[in-house]
């Protein structure tokens, strides 16, 4: 088999091909009407872009009314089970030490595990929590499901590398609000704002640790929420900083109006896309041997970078040059 006949993701990324191929936006909703609207919006944007550009995570932890956790889990399972075939639907269950956790997993993963793309586990403190969730998934007959983990405390940040190393974990998210409150007032409220969360040293350190842990183990770092959802400029500025300065490749949305700004912020610029397409087309023509482009030497290290540019362009719905479009004509499903 010649190098030209092998898909760039496979020849350049090898065993990690697809490791970061998650949508750049993860949209959360927990109230029934909003969960239904989120799934409808996902279907509309899938039709617009030609593929799914954001995940919908149905929320039990913040969405379930107190005392009605079981009923809410049944609702989430039904919504996930009945979602469109091309939908990417996940669920956030309660933390492993919450009384509703076992029922959440047994109901949602047990009844709709075949439709879920992952399960989000909040308030993870150590690998022991991951192992407990893994056992619960296996008992529910959903041992295939990846876990996304929410890091929300100083102790969990300290263990981020160990947690990210677990093979079941696909992504780490940062829980800003709980992280700040866990400091007992040592971090001011401004540390939770769209701007302040990028300036307070303890918050900045936590974000960098999480991003570094994910990149060290081939996992996806997912940035926290921006609560100022009526301020699209603040939203997009925060998303741009998360992507360009902090190394995050995915971000939470808590309002439909945040989805498109996240897609725009995480998308490569047109000039980057065109350069990546030109270099990779020349590389494929050279059977992936080193080439010179505009007087600059390129080899598989830079090819890998430019391929990731094209993948991110596709994930965010950007138009691809003709030379690159064929690589995505028969796109494999985003990794589950």
Q: Find out whether 26 and 251 touch, Cβ atoms under 8 Å.
A: yes
Three-state SS annotation for 24-80? CEEEEECCHHHHHHHHHHHHHHHHHHCCCCEEEEEECCCCCCCCCHHHHHHHHHHHH
Using the Cα atoms of residue 261, residue 265, residue 266 and residue 272 in order, give the sign of their dihedral. Answer: positive
DSSP state of 203: H
Which SS3 state, helix, strand or coil, does residue 297 take?
strand
* Per-residue pLDDT at 15: 44
* Per-residue pLDDT at 89: 98
* Per-residue pLDDT at 20: 57
> Helix, strand, coil % (nearest 5) of the chain?
50, 15, 35
Q: What are phi and psi of 205, to 5 degrees?
A: -60, -45
* Per-residue pLDDT at 330: 57
Count helices and strands (H / E) in the chain. 15, 10
Nearest partner of 145 among 183, 92, 192, 195, judged by Cα: 92
* Per-residue pLDDT at 14: 60
The strand pair at 220-223 and 89-92 is best described as unpaired
pTM above 0.85, yes or no: yes
Cα–Cα distance for residue pair 123/152, rounded to 1 Å: 6
Cα–Cα distance for residue pair 239/229, rounded to 1 Å: 12
Q: What are phi and psi of 67, to 5 degrees?
A: 90, -10
* Per-residue pLDDT at 333: 44
Strands (E) in 52-201, as ranges, are 54-59, 89-92, 116-121, 147-151, 169-174
For residue 105, give both structure tokens.
């997993």
For residue 152, give both structure tokens.
């929300």
pLDDT tens digits in sequence order for the chain, 336 residues long: 344 457 888 778 764 545 557 999 999 999 999 999 999 999 999 999 988 999 999 999 999 999 999 999 999 999 999 999 999 999 999 999 999 999 999 999 999 999 999 999 999 999 999 999 999 999 999 999 999 999 999 999 999 999 999 999 999 999 999 999 999 999 999 999 999 999 999 999 999 999 999 999 999 999 999 988 888 888 889 999 999 999 999 999 999 999 999 999 999 999 999 999 999 999 999 999 999 988 899 999 999 999 999 999 999 999 999 989 888 875 544 444
Cα–Cα distance for residue pair 149/165, rounded to 1 Å: 12
């Amino acid at each position: 088999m010649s190098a030209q006949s092998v898909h760039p993701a496979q020849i350049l990324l090898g065993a990690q091909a697809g490791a970061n191929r998650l949508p750049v936006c993860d949209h959360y909703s927990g109230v029934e009407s909003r969960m239904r609207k989120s799934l409808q919006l996902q279907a509309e944007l899938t039709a617009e872009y030609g593929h799914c550009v954001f995940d919908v995570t149905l929320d039990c932890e913040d969405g379930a009314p107190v005392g009605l956790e079981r009923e809410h889990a049944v609702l989430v399972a039904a919504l996930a089970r009945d979602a469109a075939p091309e939908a990417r639907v996940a669920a956030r269950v309660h933390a492993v030490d919450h009384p509703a956790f076992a029922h959440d997993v047994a109901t949602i993963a047990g009844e709709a595990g075949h439709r879920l793309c992952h399960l989000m586990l909040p308030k993870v403190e150590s690998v022991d929590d991951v192992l407990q969730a893994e056992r619960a998934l296996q008992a529910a007959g959903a041992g295939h499901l990846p876990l996304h983990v929410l890091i929300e405390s100083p102790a969990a940040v300290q263990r981020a590398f160990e947690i990210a190393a677990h093979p079941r974990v696909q992504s780490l998210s940062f829980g800003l609000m709980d992280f700040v409150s866990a400091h007992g007032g040592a971090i001011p409220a401004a540390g939770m704002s769209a701007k302040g969360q990028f300036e307070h040293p303890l918050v900045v350190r936590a974000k960098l640790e999480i991003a570094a842990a994910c990149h060290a183990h081939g996992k996806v770092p997912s940035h926290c929420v921006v609560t100022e959802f009526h301020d699209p400029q603040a939203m997009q500025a925060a998303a741009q900083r998360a992507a360009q300065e902090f190394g995050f490749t995915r971000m939470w949305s808590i309002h439909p109006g945040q989805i498109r700004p996240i897609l725009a912020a995480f998308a490569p610029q047109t000039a980057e896309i065109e350069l990546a397409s030109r270099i990779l087309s020349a590389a494929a023509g050279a059977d992936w041997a080193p080439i010179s482009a505009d007087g600059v030497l390129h080899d598989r290290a830079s090819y890998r970078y430019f391929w990731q540019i094209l993948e991110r362009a596709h994930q965010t719905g950007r138009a691809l040059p003709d030379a690159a479009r064929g690589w995505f004509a028969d796109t494999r499903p985003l990794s589950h």
